[in-house]
Structures are given as structure tokens and as C-alpha cells.
């Protein structure tokens, strides 16, 4: 089976939208695959889990904390700690029962998941193939280069970069803020495409079609059977 971690350069990169789009795409065009969905953990009473539940009834979130803060801080407020073994066991169980498992991270690759561990370290230690979601905005080049450098330092298996229009933007904005050739030259990581701004998501079939038209996912080597 295959596991893909969907991480980002920061908290507002649009990881949840891209993760939803990827699952919609694989369910629509790879009907023979059993696709699972997991978020490493959630902070905040309402968040990504509630968004996913609008479309999927099987999303797994092993740990939840009430405060919308970095996980170790949210856990501290409740007198608890981040038990990575709980997350790991959930991951293993889902891997055993699915052909493809999509796992949403939190924050950027440099975001802490415990007091001693970042998402990049976790991805490297657990050998998770990773997609980096980059919001199309001013400063994206530097954020991308920094996150890729961190990923390489921790031996993260970066499979590609997805540019994501978190706000309405035109072709000139995309070329100025996230120039494909420059980012690929600086990072040596392929850009899989640019996901357009979507004002409202209410149809997974449409989302799958948008994904197919805008992202080249062949480099991820997902088999149709």
C-alpha cells in the first residue's frame, strides 16, 4: 500500500482542501483503490475533522485537544501529552486495511507535534512520502525553500509540491509569487501543478475533475488496480 503525508509551508496553506481534493480524485478515477483518510491530530473544538465529515464518514483523528494552539501547548493546557504511539498504531491499522492512505499533517514542516519533535522529523522518522502544499502569495518562494531544506535535512521523502490559490489570483499572480521554474531550480522538487481558488466545495465529483485538470499526479506512482 502507499501512504502520502500532506504537509504545507504554514498553517494557512490549504492542506485540508488539497487532501479532500486528492481523495475525491482517487475515488473518482481509481475506483479499484480503497482510499483512507487520517489527520495526525486536531487542536480546537471544531476544525478539519468537522470539514471532512461533510464528505466522508470514515476520517480518523487519533488525538484531539480543545485549545486551537500548537499541539504540545494544547496538550499542556489539559494536563496531557502527545502520545505518538496512539497515532502510530492508528496509522498502521489504516495502512493494513487500505490501498492508499492520505494523512494530513498540521501547520508547516517546522511545526511542533511534541515538545521535542517537528512534523519534518516525524515524516522522516516514519518514512512517510510527503507532498508540500504551498499557498500562492508573496513570500511563497522563501517559505518553500526553507521548508524543503528542512525536509531534506530530516530525510523526508518529498514527492512534489502543490501550489494552492488560497485566495483568488490570476496567472500573473501565480507566475510572480510562485514561479515554477525558479522554485524547481532552487529546491530540486517537482511542482505537480497549481490548484485554483475554489470559493465553495459542495460536490466531490467537481473537485475530482478540478484536480485532474490542474495537477499532474503521475509522479506519485499510484496504481489504478
Catalytic residues: 39
CA 44 to chain centre: 18
User: How many C-beta atoms lie closer than 10 Å to residue 85's C-beta?
Assistant: 9
Strand positions, DSSP E, the chain = 2-8, 35-39, 42-43, 64-65, 100-108, 129-135, 157-164, 191-195
Comparing C-alpha atoms, which of 31, 35, 29, 28 is closest to residue 4? 35
Q: How far is CA 28 from CA 8, 48, 207, 211, in A?
A: 24, 22, 10, 11
Amino acid at each position: 500500500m502507499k501512504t502520502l503525508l500532506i504537509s504545507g509551508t504554514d498553517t494557512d496553506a490549504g492542506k485540508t482542501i488539497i487532501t479532500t481534493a486528492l481523495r475525491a480524485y482517487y475515488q473518482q478515477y481509481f475506483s479499484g483503490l480503497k482510499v483512507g483518510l487520517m489527520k495526525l491530530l486536531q487542536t480546537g473544538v471544531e476544525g478539519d475533522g468537522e470539514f471532512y465529515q461533510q464528505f466522508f464518514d470514515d476520517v480518523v483523528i487519533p488525538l484531539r485537544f480543545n485549545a486551537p494552539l500548537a499541539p504540545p501547548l494544547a496538550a499542556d493546557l489539559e494536563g496531557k501529552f502527545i502520545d505518538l504511539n496512539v497515532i502510530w498504531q492508528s496509522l498502521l491499522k489504516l495502512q493494513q486495511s487500505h490501498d492508499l492512505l492520505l494523512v494530513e499533517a498540521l501547520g508547516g514542516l517546522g511545526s511542533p507535534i511534541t515538545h521535542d519533535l517537528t512534523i519534518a522529523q516525524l515524516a522522516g522518522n516514519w518514512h512517510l512520502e510527503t507532498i508540500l502544499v504551498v499557498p500562492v502569495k508573496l513570500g511563497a518562494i522563501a517559505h518553500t525553500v526553507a521548508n524543503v531544506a528542512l525536509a531534506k535535512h530530516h530525510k523526508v521523502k518529498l514527492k512534489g509540491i502543490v501550489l494552492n490559490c488560497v485566495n483568488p489570483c490570476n496567472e500573473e499572480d501565480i507566475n510572480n509569487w510562485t514561479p515554477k521554474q525558479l522554485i524547481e531550480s532552487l529546491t530540486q522538487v517537482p511542482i505537480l501543478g497549481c490548484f485554483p481558488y475554489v470559493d465553495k466545495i459542495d460536490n466531490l465529483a467537481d473537485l475530482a475533475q478540478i484536480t485532474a485538470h490542474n495537477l499532474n499526479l503521475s509522479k506519485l506512482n499510484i496504481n489504478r488496480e
